[in-house]
A and B are shown apart, each in its own frame.
Chain A
Amino acid sequence: KAGVTQTPRYLIKTRGQQVTLSCSPISGHRSVSWYQQTPGQGLQFLFEYFSETQRNKGNFPGRFSGRQFSNSRSEMNVSTLELGDSALYLCASSLTDSGGYTFGSGTRLTVV
C-alpha cells in the first residue's frame, strides 16, 4: 500500500516567485492536512481539506493557499515567496478526520 507522496522532495526558489507543492494521499483517504516545519517555529498547521472542501485554516497570510481535487490529491501554493517561507512542508492524510493521520516525507523549500 503506497504511502503519502509529496512532490517534489526538494525545491529552490527565488524571493518573489510562487511555488506549488503536491500531495497524493493514501488511496481512499479523503482528509488531507498541511503543516509547515521550521527550526524556529516548529510544526504549524496550514490547512485541512475533506472531500474538496477546506475545513480549517491556520494562522498564515493569504499568500498561502491550497486546494483538493476530486481524487483527493491536494496542492498548496505560496505566492510572492519570502526568505522566511523556507521550510519543510508536510502533508498528512487520513480516511476520515477522526482517524490517525499518515504523514508524507515532505517537500523541503529553500527560498534564496
Chain B
Amino acid sequence: AQSVTQLGSHVSVSEGALVLLRCNYSSSVPPYLFWYVQYPNQGLQLLLKYTSAATLVKGINGFEAEFKKSETSFHLTKPSAHMSDAAEYFCAVSDENYGGSQGNLIFGKGTKLSVKP
C-alpha cells in the first residue's frame, strides 16, 4: 500500500528564513503529488500539484516543490518565510490503485510550521 511520510511534525523558522518541509512517498510509479495547507478551523487549500509535466512545480504564495523520482521525494520550499505562512502543511499522493483519480488521496501526517518574528 502506498504511504506518504512527512519528516518533522513541527518546524520552526524565523521570518525571512528559508522554509523546507520534507515529504517522501513510497510508490515506485510517479503518481500525482500534492501539497495542501490548513489554517486553524479551516479546510485544506491546494498549494501546488505535480502531474509529471515538470519536476519543479510552482504554487501559490511563493511556494514551490521539486519532484525527485530517484529519491521518491517531493519537498516543499519557500525562500523567505512570512508570519502568515504559519499553518499546518500536508503532502498527499493519489492512490494508483484507483485508476489515477485524484479524488482519493493518501495524506501524510502533516507538518506544523511556526514562524518566529
User: Chain A: residues with CB nearer than 8 A to chain B?
Assistant: 4, 31-33, 35, 42-45, 48, 50, 55-56, 58, 90, 92, 94, 97-106
Checking B46, B98, B104, B106 against A100 with a beta-carbon cut-off of 8 angstroms, the contacting residue is B46
Knowing A42-B107, A42-B109, A45-B106 are in contact, say whether A105-B101 is a contact too (CB < 8 A). Answer: no
The answer to whether the Cβ of B44 comes within 8 Å of any Cβ in the partner chain is yes
Q: How many residues of chain B have a CB within 8 Å of chain A?
A: 23
**Distance in Å: Cβ of B44 to nearest Cβ of chain A:** 4
The answer to whether the Cβ of B45 comes within 8 Å of any Cβ in the partner chain is yes
Tell me the B58-108 residues at the A interface (CB within 8 Å). Answer: 90, 92, 95, 98, 100-108
Using CB atoms, name the residue of chain B closest to A44. B107
- Which residues of chain B are near A94, meaning CB under 8 Å? 102-103
- Which residues of chain B are near A35, meaning CB under 8 Å? 105, 107
Using CB atoms, name the residue of chain B closest to A103. B43
B43–A31 CB distance below 8 A:
no
B46–A101 CB distance below 8 A:
yes
- Which residues of chain A are near B109, meaning CB under 8 Å? 42
- Which residues of chain B are near A100, meaning CB under 8 Å? 46, 49, 102
